Amino acid sequence: MASLILVSLVAVALPLKAEGLKDNPATHSSKWEFTFTPYFWAFWMNADQTVKGQTVSIDAHLFEILSNSDGLNAMPWYSAQEARLGRFSLYSDIQYSNLGFSGGQTASTGLGSGLSIAGTLDFELAVLEGGVTYEISRLSRQTALDVTAGLRYWYMNVDLNLAVAGPLPPGLTPIGGGLAVAKSGDVDWVDPVIGLRLRHEMSPSQRIVMRGDIGGFGAGSDFTWQLLGAYSFDFAQRHGITFSGKIGYRALSVDYVDGVGSNRFAYDAIQHGPIVGLGMKW
């Protein structure tokens, strides 16, 4: 789906460029502009998580997940940063969460004989992204198309708590009382990503951004993609800083596999849901 959207954007942009639409130099600032946007992502997670060869499915909303997580330590952090000069910009995005999933939010899909889910799935996830954008086409005075390229770094640490009836399978650590835990330890990888971003100014104070990217290609994960659509509006200016509200929808997916048998770790997931943010530009 993500690749189809990227192809469609290219198909729209290239003919318009070929027809001779002129770039408007007045729209390109000669000074650096910086934007910092912390945001909240009320995502729904659908995932198959494999630790030490044992697989469970996750199906839960963020608010359900937080109710089973460890207080303030579970509060996620999301923020987007961008530094722009003319056609060129540097961007980054930070995602961090330390969550717990209850038995009601997980279901066994590939657990060994005599195993069942017990307690929670403890789940630490960080996704750090950084890259560059370059404006390749000015479709009109208000609309521009950027190409994006960067790296998406993933870090995970997962503990899968299981009830054991029978011999303990390889890779699991007994914790007493007929319970065992499958620990992933620290798992991380890096995905190259490429994409497109469409920016449209509805007015000097209102903007719409649509972005899509694909990546992985076997270098880190087998495949990853992301889609984002957002509307932002300026509402105040103080001490040289412009404040804006941001609302939109984001989807992020990844399919990663490493190891075999009792050493197999896999994460095949999609997070998607609305976002609300506060932007600061100076």
Encode the chain in three state secondary structure.
CHHHHHHHHHHHHHHHHHCCCCCCHHHCCCCCEEEEEEEEECCEEEEEEEECCEEEEEEEEHHHHHCCCCHHHHCCEEEEEEEEECCEEEEEEEEEEEEEECHHHEEECCCCCCEEEEEEEEEEEEEEEEEEEEEEEECCCCEEEEEEEEEEEEEEEEEEEEEECCCCCCCCEEEECCEEEEECCCEEEEEEEEEEEEEEEEECCEEEEEEEEEECCCCCCCEEEEEEEEEEEEEEEECCEEEEEEEEEEEEEEEEEECCHHHCEEEEEEEEEEEEEEEEEC
Asked if residue 178 lies in contact with residue 163, where contact means CB atoms within 8 angstroms, the answer is yes
Q: What is the pLDDT of residues 88-118, one digit of tens each?
A: 999 999 999 888 877 667 778 888 878 888 7
Domain at 2-17+36-144+155-281, CATH from 2.40.128, 3.40.50, 3.10.450, 1.10.287: 2.40.128
Percent pLDDT > 70 in the chain is 86
Q: Is the pLDDT of residue 199 over 60?
A: yes
Contact residues for 239 (Cβ-Cβ < 8 A; gap 6+): none
Question: What pTM was estimated for this model as a whole?
Answer: 0.86
What per-residue confidence (pLDDT) applies to 104?
Answer: 64
- Going from N- to C-terminal start, the domains of the chain cover 2-17+36-144+155-281
Q: What is the pLDDT of residues 44-59, one digit of tens each?
A: 999 999 999 989 998 8
Q: Is the pLDDT of residue 7 over 50?
A: no
Which pLDDT band holds residue 137 (cuts at 50, 70, 90)? very high
Q: Is the pLDDT of residue 198 over 80?
A: yes
- Structure tokens of 139? 């479709």
Contact residues for 218 (Cβ-Cβ < 8 A; gap 6+): none
The single-letter code of the amino acid at 200 is H
CA distances from 92 to 30, 89, 153, 220 (A): 21, 10, 11, 19
What per-residue confidence (pLDDT) applies to 73?
Answer: 58
